[in-house]
Amino acid sequence: MRRIFYFLIVAMVLNSCAGWGVAPQPFPVLTPISSSTPGIVTPTPFIIPPPVFAETSTPSSNVTVISPVTAEVTITLSPAPTFTPIVPTLSFTQPPVQSANLVILGCNTSIDITHGMGEVTNAFVTVKNTGTIDMPNTCAILRAIDEDREHPDKKVCIPNLPVHNEVNLKLTVDSKYKVDTIIQVDVASNEVTLLRLDKQSCQDISLLGGAPSDLNQIKPLTP
């Protein structure tokens, strides 16, 4: 009896569904939307490092306090290098120079009986060493335009004339009687002529203060 009742209920249900004018549509199925690959974001590194915190404990409580730690950076600047210019030292050695100067102080005439000569002309000269080396075997030689025989004192020498020193010498030549004599004096060292000086008219030494008294004596140069 119950089975018949169930069959009837099912038949009624089926008849009621067939009576709809429009069949019900199936429920739509939602398709999930495809998502794009998520972008990878790299965190920006710290330019300034975050502060470092150190844990400190307060003795009176159990609370832990985190305090920032300040990092101290010490920068030591090295002094700039000092530039010392290197200046080359030039040493100059002056080469030895042999140089002489000559001054004719004056002349006079006399009679030389000792050497069997008549009138002779005497010239008084000053020889000076103005070089940088000594003048060994320094000689003064007198010549005259009217010279006759060779007088033994026409050439007078000293062994050495040191640097910056001078000497007065008396030179004599055999000259003609009462004739104006043109003279010439040479200065030589070791037979090398260093200087030659002419005198067209040699003044009388007596008019110039007389003959020097320090003949053949070496002395420092006079200003």
| Overall number of domains in the chain | 1
Indicate the pTM of the whole model.
Answer: 0.58
Which residue carries 């060779």 as its tokens?
150
What one-character DSSP code corresponds to residue 57? E
Tell me the C-alpha distance between 203 and 104, whole Å.
10
Tell me the C-alpha distance between 112 and 153, whole Å.
11
| Structure confidence at residue 108 as a pLDDT band (50, 70, 90) | very high
Which residue carries 């398709």 as its tokens?
31
Domain that holds residue 174: 100-210
Which residues are bridge partners to 54 per DSSP?
A: 67
92 part of a folded domain: no
Which tens digit of pLDDT belongs to each residue from 109-140? 999 988 888 889 999 999 999 999 999 999 99
149 part of a folded domain: yes
Question: Is residue 92 within 8 Å of residue 183, measured between CB atoms?
Answer: no
- 149: pLDDT strictly greater than 80: yes
Q: Give me 132's structure tokens.
A: 């940088």
The CATH number covering residue 203 comes to 2.60.40.10
Question: Is residue 90 within 8 Å of residue 81, measured between CB atoms?
Answer: no
78 part of a folded domain: no
Q: Give me 120's structure tokens.
A: 């002779």
**Dihedral angle at the C-alpha atoms of 143, 170, 191, 134, nearest 10 degrees?**
-140
Tell me the C-alpha distance between 16 and 63, whole Å.
78
Tell me the C-alpha distance between 11 and 38, whole Å.
56
If you count them, how many residues does the chain have?
A: 223
196 part of a folded domain: yes
Which tens digit of pLDDT belongs to each residue from 157-199? 999 999 999 999 999 999 887 767 789 999 999 999 999 999 8
Question: Is residue 125 within 8 Å of residue 103, measured between CB atoms?
Answer: yes
Which tens digit of pLDDT belongs to each residue from 3-25? 666 666 666 655 555 454 555 55
- pLDDT score recorded for residue 42: 47
Closest CA to 111 of 100, 103, 119, 102: 119
Look at 115 and 26; give whichever has higher pLDDT. 115
| Structure confidence at residue 97 as a pLDDT band (50, 70, 90) | confident
6 part of a folded domain: no
The answer to whether the Cα torsion of 222, 186, 154, 191 is positive or negative is: positive
Closest CA to 144 of 104, 184, 198, 195: 184
Which tens digit of pLDDT belongs to each residue from 44-67? 444 445 555 455 554 554 555 555
- pLDDT score recorded for residue 44: 46
184 part of a folded domain: yes
